[in-house]
Amino acid sequence: MSTLATIFIIAFLIFFHELGHLLASWSVGIPVERFSVGFGPVLFKRRKSGVEYCLSLIPLGGYVLPRCASEEEFAQIPALRRIVMWLGGPLANFVLAAALLAMLNVISGGFSLNAVLLKPWLQVAQQSAQFVAALPTIFMHLDQLSGIIGIVAAGNSFVGGGIVATLRFAVLLNLNLAIFNLLPMSPLDGGKILCCLLEKLHPGLARLQTGFAIAGLAVLLVLMAYTTVIDVMRQFA
């Protein structure tokens, strides 16, 4: 039961991240063709108001596909509008983390305007700064990394600890998802933003985007495979 609850929490946070991209796209007038939670074969889809909403087989991410005939057409969209679209996902996770922290503040100390409106954002800033400060240490000790199996295993212990522990797990995962996606590596949001900024500095740099994206994707796939092996070894240790 805890495993199902943990998987549901992870899927919901991914959904909220992609919803942020969708709303940000609409806010700057970028039309959207597809909104998908998950990758791979489509399990369920429904088209509404011109957007195809999909639930796909592999629940390890998601994507928002702009309605553009080609990469060249998408590149013609002003850089600021594309950056707003890419920032929408991480921003949505920060907002959700603040909302969850507000719930935790009310549970632990009762309702007040400070507990609901101000303190959560200070907590988001503090916890985000701690995570960013720890990033170099994390990548220097790769044996401490966890993939989806490790995250689910850790989530099970949180979910089994009750509502407060579950909310804390959701906050932690939310902030990790937001900050990880802001890393300057394609195909993450931060990598796409970096490529967009380089393109503005010199149009010729736009030709590097494909190679940058392929290299980044290769690194992420290797990292995913490595953390999966590490997670499995930990489970049987």
Active site residue 18: yes
CA distances from 162 to 2, 97, 167, 213 (A): 10, 18, 9, 41
In the set 18, 52, 71, 199, the catalytic residue is 18
Q: Is the peptide bond before 187 cis (omega within 30 degrees of 0)?
A: yes
| Neighbouring C-beta atoms of residue 125, cutoff 10 Å | 12
User: Which among 166, 165, 140, 144 has a CA at the least distance from the CA of 234?
Assistant: 144
Cα separation, 166 vs 4, in Å, equals: 13
**8 A C-beta contact, residue 153 and residue 235:** yes
Kindly list the catalytic residues.
18
